[in-house]
Structure formats: C-alpha cells, structure tokens
A and B are shown apart, each in its own frame.
Chain A
Amino acid sequence: MSRDLALVWLAEAAVFTLVVAGILAERPWALGATGAAIVAAGALVRFVPRLGTTLAGAFARRRPAALGAGVVLALALPLALRSSPYWTFVATLALLYVTIGQGLNLQIGTAGVINLAGAAFAGLGGYSVGLLTVAAGWPSWLAVLVGPWVAVAVGTILFVPILKTRGHYLALVTIAFVFIFNILMNNLEFTGGPQGIKNIPTLRLLGHAFTTKPVLAGVELPSHANFYYAALVMAGLTTWVLRRLHDSWLGLALNTLRDDEIAARCCGVSITRGKLLAFSIGNFFIGLGGAFYAVMVGFVSPPDFDFGYSLVMLSVIIIGGVDSIPGVVLGACLLVPLPERFRFLHEYRLLLYGVVIVVMLLYRPQGLWPAQVRRYR
C-alpha cells in the first residue's frame, strides 16, 4: 500500500517538474531536453506493460493522498514560477478556464444543451463588474459576486430557443447571441463602445490589495500570485460543486434527457426544468470566470469576449472529455498555456484549437480523461 503512495507522489512530482521545466526552459537545448523528457514519460506510461494500469490503480486506491499532494503542488506553483509574473498570469488564466469550463460542461456535456455563447456570458460577468465598480462605485469583491447573476438573468432571454431548438439549431442561436452581444458592446455608449471600460479597481480583501506583492514563506511573489491563489480557490470550489452536482439526481436526470428526451419524460423528468436549470447554473460559473477576469486585468473591451473565446471554451471540454469533471481541469491546463509557450502558435491559436477539435473528435471523441460512470460514493 505504501508503494502506491510512493508511486502517486512520484508521478505527481514528475508531472510538476516537467511542467515547470517546460514553462521556464528558455535556451533551445533546455526546451528540447524538457520536450524529450515529456515525450519519454508519455511513451513510458503508454508502452511499458502494466505501468499505466499500475499507476491508475495506485491513484484509485490513494485518492485523498493524490488530491492532497495535487493541492500542495498547485499552491507551490507560484513559488516555482516566481521569476516570471507573466507565467503566473497564464496559470491564473488557466484556472479561470477551469471555472468557465465546468459551467459550460454542465450545459454541453451533461445536459447536451449546446451553448456556443460562452464568451458572451463571460462578457456579461466581466462588463457587469466594469459597470458596477467604475460607474456605480461598488467594491470589486461585491461586483465579482453579483456579476455572475447578471449572466444568469440575461441568459433567460435564451430560454425559448433552449427549449424549442436542439443540436445544430441551438448552436446557431447561441452563436448569433455572441455576435449580438459584441455588436451591442461595440456600439452602446454606457459600455464604453470599442474602448470598453478601463480602470476597474483591483480586488481588496481584508485590507490586502491584490496589486501588492505577497510574501509567502519569506519569498516575495509577483503580484499576480494574489489572483492565482484567489482563482485557485474559485476553480477548486467550482469543481467541487460541479462534481457533486454531476454525481447526483440532477446530473443523472440531465444525462438521461441529453441521451433520450422521450425516455426521460416517461421517467418523470421535466425537460423544461432540467434544461433551464443546467443552462442557468452553467451561466453562473461562466459569468463568474468573466467577472474575475475583469478585476484581474483591470479593463474589459469587446474583443476580450468575441466568438473565438467561445471556441476556446468548447475545445477545453472536448480535449478533456465531454461530461468529465476532471477532464475539464486537464483540458484547461493544457489548452490555455500551450499557445502561450509557443509564441509562433499564438497568431494561429484559433487554427490550433480548430485542428485539435477535429483530431479529437475523429480519433478520441471521449477526450483525454473520459467521463466515468457514477459510483455514488
């Protein structure tokens, strides 16, 4: 049994080291060596007989220990990345995508409500924060808590199409919604038009402004580490809540109505209630991610929430595994940093996401971390 523990911690430490090395390696040889090590590790797990299943078994038997070590490593990440404020920022962004992805996954993955308006709902959260703080003078933390509710409230506009259309048609309606949102934000005066809203005040908790550099264990960290830890708590809580909602009567009912509406209705499931609940809960967390983004970067503008970001959110789910809670975490942690690491990819980001979606759907439609059956434990 303690062999399991050693295996779990060794594997997690190896992944952490490789990730940090991959991010920080600057010289070509260092980057090449890290890349080779990552490929070698992948090949090892894939091709050494029984290594993959041994590891999976160890993780299954030692779940609390694995989770605990994962939390410790996530907490330690800003320390490892302290030389690079930029990468602390990217890691925070990945955590925002975890939050957003969990919300979107409840809609698309669990309930089959294809929502390609993720960017618009994140934007609603973000713009609400902008307006509430800059125009109305609210404190940032309160605006971040209220912003998501605006996303939920505006989402009610889409209730009729959610119930009357499905599949591709619903996708088209939601795409139209993103464009309407963008056109409105570009043209409305009170949202600042193309300039958006600037000078959103930063978060301030118990007198600690998020622009000051935190000191952790005697080490000074970049100011973005404040947001990193806040986003870590937010993403952790979101994942925890969504995990429990997924493994419940609600998740089961949503899965059933996704797979077969007629069977679900004949089992007493109200399609109306299920879809609207999934849509609204999902929009809350998408809006929460957007609201947090607004206080983190300090401004919002229309291009921050255009259709391309809806596709990024969708790719996070498809890469990780549709309807898979851990899959969303994996998808966000892979898909957000990768184009940042390879700057030459950055301009072709959307192309990369498109290719990734097509390849995944063709060769591994269940995603990298497929959804498991509910165990109710």
Chain B
Amino acid sequence: MSVSPSLVEVAGLTVRFGGLVALDGVDVVVAEGETVGVIGPNGSGKTTFFNALTGLLVPAAGEIVFLGRRLAGLEAHAIARLGIARTFQASRLCLALSVFDNILIGMHAGRRTGVVDFVVRRGRFLGEMRTAIERVSHLLALFNGDLPRRGFERVGQLPQIDRRRVEICRALAAEPKLLLLDEPSAGMNPEETAELMRDLQIVREEMPGLSVVIIEHDMFVIEGVSQRVVAFNYGRKIAEGSFAEIAGHEEVREAYLGKEAARA
C-alpha cells in the first residue's frame, strides 16, 4: 500500500491473560511517516496492542520488528530508548512535578551529563538543561503560546486539555520515530476534541517523518488524522484499509452496532 519502508512490522502477535486471549495473531505494519488509526469496541485489544509494543506486556507468541530489530526480550525502558514513545488513555503525568519536569523526563534517555556533572561540573549539566528547557518551551508553544510561561508551575494546576498536550510533548521530547497515542480525546468535549485535532495536525507538520498510531473512539478524529485504519474485535484484526473502506466494512459495523442493526 505504501512505498516508504516499513518502520514496525508486527506479525502474529498474541497476548494471553490466563485463559483469556487478549490479542490473537495480530499483523500490523506501519510505514515511516504514516498515521494509522486503530478502532474497535471496548475490550477488543487496542490498548493491549500498545502495551505489547512498548514492552509493558510480554507477548505469548508473535514478533515485533522495529527498525529491523526484534523487540522480544527487551524491557520497556530499552524499547523506549529505541524510539517508541506513547501517551496513555488515563493521564499518567506526575501532578506534583512542574510542567517542564514532566516533559524533560522524556529527554532523560538522551542526556549527555552524569553524576559527576550534577555535583562537581555543575555548569555542564546546567548548560544542557538550558538547551533542553528551550526545546521543551518550543514544543509547548506549538500547542499553546501560554504554556512555556507556566513551565515551572505544577502540572496539576493546568486544565485537562493542556495536561493532554503536556503528555504529547513528553512523548515528542524523546524525538521518537514511532508515537503511540492511546485515545487522546478521552474525556474531552467536542470543542476540546476539535482543538486536539488541530494539535495532531501541528505534530504532523512539525515532524513529517514521524509515524503515529492512534487509538480513538471518536470517528471524526480517526477520519481527520489517519491515512489508514485498522479495526480490532475480540483481540483479532478484523479489517484494514482507508477510513471509507472500514466505515463500510460489514464486520466492523457488526462489531459496533450488532448484527441486526448492521444489516438494517
């Protein structure tokens, strides 16, 4: 479908929780610079898919190849350092820490100073931090020009939409090659969702080479941002294609609406 080389190749990915098969032989390929939407009813395995990709879960079978490298056996932090960043459905920010700190941690893996610099050669560490904070401010300003000024406030003082932005900035700060967004519009009203779509557009323009996989329930978001859609149900991939193809796909309609309604 795509001519650009593939960034991630997932083949036969299977995750079991005891007797429950949460993911059942899923194959997904994401090309460089592509945005893939993932849809499916609750419990269909979308978040489990992300958790397996990021190393939070150990798959029972199947293979994930990222940049030509098999991820099997790697811990979550090692996978993150290879260039996979994500956000979470329920916000996972550290509310007691500052806005800057919450995003700076995304750059932790790329730090160039160590304990000796922290304590003795303090200037080197502070110099690195100054550059890092400038970059973080630049990222924040892409979404909301007010946010850089609030960088040293605790993140708990920000409204919901800005917290979501901070979380996206944290993921982007790592300069990932693959960004996983787990239902970014969760808990947002229509206006906020519209703002979110604008934010995602900004990410697209700012980082054209970045591949994005986005889980969403809001079909307007999916239609607006994704070039390709993958549909899950009961842990299996039931369809894949353009938004129009998926929207007309019978099994997808059944999964969402039930057999009767889908036929009507």
Decide yes or no whether B115 CB sits under 8 A from chain A: yes
Q: Which residue of B lies closest to A376 (CB)?
A: B129
Q: Which residue of B lies closest to A375 (CB)?
A: B152
> Which of A37-45, A191-199, A266-274 lies at the binding interface?
A266-274
> Which of A93-101, A256-264, A303-311 lies at the binding interface?
A256-264
> Which of A116-124, A174-182, A240-248 lies at the binding interface?
A240-248
Shortest distance in angstroms between B16's beta carbon and chain A's nearest beta carbon? 20
- Report A-chain residues with C-beta under 8 Å of the C-beta of B92: 260, 262-263
Tell me the count of chain B residues lying within 8 A, CB to CB, of chain A. Answer: 42
Shortest distance in angstroms between A325's beta carbon and chain B's nearest beta carbon? 13
A260 pairs with B94, CB closer than 8 A: yes
Q: Which residue of B lies closest to A377 (CB)?
A: B126
Shortest distance in angstroms between B9's beta carbon and chain A's nearest beta carbon? 21
Contact A245:B80 (CB < 8 A) given known A256-B97, A373-B101: no
Q: Which residue of B lies closest to A371 (CB)?
A: B96
Decide yes or no whether A252 CB sits under 8 A from chain B: yes
Decide yes or no whether A374 CB sits under 8 A from chain B: yes
- Report B-chain residues with C-beta under 8 Å of the C-beta of A255: 94, 96-97, 101
Q: Mark B11-47, 1 if CB is under 8 A from A, else 0.
A: 0000000000000000000000000000000000000
Q: Mark B228-261, 1 if CB is under 8 A from A, else 0.
A: 0000000000000000000000000000000000
User: Complex Cα distance A303/B95, Å?
Assistant: 41
- Report B-chain residues with C-beta under 8 Å of the C-beta of A268: 77-78, 80-81, 108-109, 174
A265 pairs with B94, CB closer than 8 A: no
When the two chains form the complex, which single residue of B54, B104, B118 contacts A266, counting CB atoms closer than 8 Å?
B54
Contact A271:B101 (CB < 8 A) given known A249-B113, A265-B56: no
Q: Which residue of A lies closest to B122 (CB)?
A: A244
User: Complex Cα distance A375/B104, Å?
Assistant: 12
B80 pairs with A265, CB closer than 8 A: yes
Contact A262:B56 (CB < 8 A) given known A245-B115, A245-B118, A250-B115: yes
Chain A CB within 10 Å, residue with most, of B75, B78, B118:
B118
Please report which residues of chain B, range 79-107, place their CB below 8 angstroms from some CB of chain A when the two chains form the complex.
Answer: 80-81, 85-86, 88, 92-98, 100-101, 104-106
A252 pairs with B118, CB closer than 8 A: no
User: Complex Cα distance A167/B84, Å?
Assistant: 29
A267 pairs with B152, CB closer than 8 A: no
- Report A-chain residues with C-beta under 8 Å of the C-beta of B170: 267
Q: How large is the interface on A (under 10, 10 to 19, 20 to 34, 35 or more residues)?
A: 20 to 34
User: Complex Cα distance A262/B122, Å?
Assistant: 30
- Report B-chain residues with C-beta under 8 Å of the C-beta of A250: 115, 118
- Report B-chain residues with C-beta under 8 Å of the C-beta of A81: none
B77 pairs with A263, CB closer than 8 A: no
User: Complex Cα distance A249/B126, Å?
Assistant: 11
Shortest distance in angstroms between B60's beta carbon and chain A's nearest beta carbon? 21
A252 pairs with B101, CB closer than 8 A: yes
Decide yes or no whether A144 CB sits under 8 A from chain B: no
A373 pairs with B154, CB closer than 8 A: yes
Decide yes or no whether B130 CB sits under 8 A from chain A: yes
- Report B-chain residues with C-beta under 8 Å of the C-beta of A271: 77
Please report which residues of chain A, range 262-289, place their CB below 8 angstroms from some CB of chain B when the two chains form the complex.
Answer: 262-271
A259 pairs with B126, CB closer than 8 A: no
Decide yes or no whether B1 CB sits under 8 A from chain A: no
Please report which residues of chain A, range 229-253, place their CB below 8 angstroms from some CB of chain B when the two chains form the complex.
Answer: 241, 244-245, 247-250, 252-253
User: Complex Cα distance A100/B55, Å?
Assistant: 37
When the two chains form the complex, which single residue of B86, B105, B113 contacts A252, counting CB atoms closer than 8 Å?
B105
Contact A253:B105 (CB < 8 A) given known A259-B96, A266-B86: yes
A269 pairs with B77, CB closer than 8 A: yes
Q: Which residue of A lies closest to B82 (CB)?
A: A268
When the two chains form the complex, which single residue of B77, B119, B126 contacts A265, counting CB atoms closer than 8 Å?
B77
Known: A259-B97, A263-B93, A265-B55. 16 other contacts (CB 8 A): A244-B122, A245-B115, A245-B118, A247-B118, A252-B104, A253-B108, A255-B94, A260-B94, A262-B76, A262-B88, A266-B56, A266-B85, A267-B77, A267-B105, A268-B174, A373-B153
26 of the cross-chain contacts (CB-CB < 8 Å) are: A244-B119, A244-B122, A248-B115, A248-B118, A250-B118, A255-B96, A255-B97, A255-B101, A256-B94, A256-B97, A260-B93, A260-B94, A263-B93, A265-B76, A265-B80, A266-B86, A267-B80, A267-B108, A268-B80, A269-B109, A371-B96, A373-B98, A373-B101, A373-B152, A373-B154, A376-B130
User: Which 4 A-B pairs have CB atoms at the shortest separation, nearest pair first?
Assistant: A268-B109, A248-B118, A259-B94, A265-B76
